[in-house]
């Protein structure tokens, strides 16, 4: 094995040293990001957290998949979710609770995915789904969203996908609406900055008939402005 340093601080022979890993044990609540849905992150996006996420996301540090998955699973465990022990059972019944819950990653643009050579969120959403199943909650990971943006602008699309995209003007579309209709969905992203991506993803899923029950992220910046929503 090649020698490596902690993705957060460079400490030798660590993927993510205990001190940096512990920074991902936070519960950062993102207020008013998606109306009516709890939004939380494992950490605040700065310092070692930022360095580790960038190493993983943009520089191919796939060994961070594991600690980041563990952090997200632990956060999911701390979040009250309808239909899950500790969640709101009335809500669970109302939305048809015992059906399989979908763990859906926020989409990367095709260009970003190509540049990275992988879907960096995939191992994380799979881990979260497996963690729910381990708690007796039927769940599976589903890449149900796609991003049709170029240079930050929505690509013009025709037909159903185009209409769905124009609902939020975000370029985020549900690729297979029949798959998410009537399903509980936990949305997962890497970094919440303005909250606009989470909101757009949730709006697209709701338009397709999904019940978004929680939004989770690895990290959140403190930059969002609640009054601007």
Taking alpha carbons only, the member of 224, 216, 211 closest to residue 95 is 211
Q: Which stretch binds Zn ion (CB under 5 A): 3-11, 68-76, 102-110, 132-140?
A: 3-11
CB-facing half-sphere around the CA of 38: CA atoms within 13 A: 18
Per CB under 5 A, the list member of 6, 40, 144, 219 interacting with Zn ion is 6
Taking alpha carbons only, the member of 78, 103, 73, 71 closest to residue 7 is 71
Min dist. Cβ of residue 14 to Zn ion (A): 6
Min dist. Cβ of residue 226 to Zn ion (A): 32
55 versus 220: smaller Cβ distance to Zn ion: 55
Q: How far apart are CA 143 and CA 189, in angstroms?
A: 12
* Beta pairing partners, 173: 146
23 versus 172: smaller Cβ distance to Zn ion: 23
Min dist. Cβ of residue 207 to Zn ion (A): 41
| Number of residues located near Zn ion, criterion CB under 5 A | 6
- Calculated CA dihedral for residues 63, 185, 192, 20, nearest 10 degrees: -30
17 versus 81: smaller Cβ distance to Zn ion: 17
Min dist. Cβ of residue 77 to Zn ion (A): 23
Interhelix angle 122-134/65-78, rounded to 10 degrees, is 40
9 versus 229: smaller Cβ distance to Zn ion: 9
Q: For the segment 7-46, give every residue that binds Zn ion (CB under 5 A).
A: 8-9, 11, 17, 20
71 belongs to the binding site for Zn ion (CB under 5 A): no
> In this structure, are residues 76 and 38 in contact, taking their beta carbons and an 8 Å threshold?
no
Taken in order 167, 171, 175, 181, the sign of the CA dihedral is negative
Min dist. Cβ of residue 123 to Zn ion (A): 21
Binding site for Zn ion (CB under 5 A): 6, 8-9, 11, 17, 20
């Amino acid at each position: 094995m090649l020698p490596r340093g902690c993705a957060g601080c460079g400490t030798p022979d660590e993927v993510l040293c205990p001190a940096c890993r512990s920074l991902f044990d936070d519960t950062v609540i993102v207020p008013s990001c998606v109306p009516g849905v709890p939004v939380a992150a494992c950490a605040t996006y700065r310092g070692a957290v930022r360095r580790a996420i960038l190493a993983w996301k943009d520089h191919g540090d796939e060994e961070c998949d594991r600690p980041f998955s563990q952090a997200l699973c632990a956060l999911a465990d701390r979040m009250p979710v309808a239909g899950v022990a500790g969640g709101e059972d009335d809500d669970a019944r109302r939305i048809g609770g015992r059906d399989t819950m979908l763990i859906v990653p926020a989409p990367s643009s095709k260009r970003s995915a190509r540049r990275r050579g992988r879907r960096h969120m995939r191992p994380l959403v799979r881990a979260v789904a497996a963690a729910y199943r381990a708690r007796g909650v039927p769940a599976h990971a589903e890449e149900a969203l796609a991003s049709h943006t170029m240079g930050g602008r929505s690509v013009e699309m025709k037909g159903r996908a185009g209409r769905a995209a124009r609902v939020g003007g975000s370029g985020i579309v549900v690729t297979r609406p029949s798959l998410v209709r009537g399903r509980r969905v936990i949305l997962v992203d890497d970094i919440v900055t303005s909250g606009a991506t989470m909101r757009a993803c949730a709006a697209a899923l709701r338009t397709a008939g999904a019940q978004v029950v929680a939004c989770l992220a690895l990290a959140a910046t403190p930059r969002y402005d609640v009054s601007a929503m």
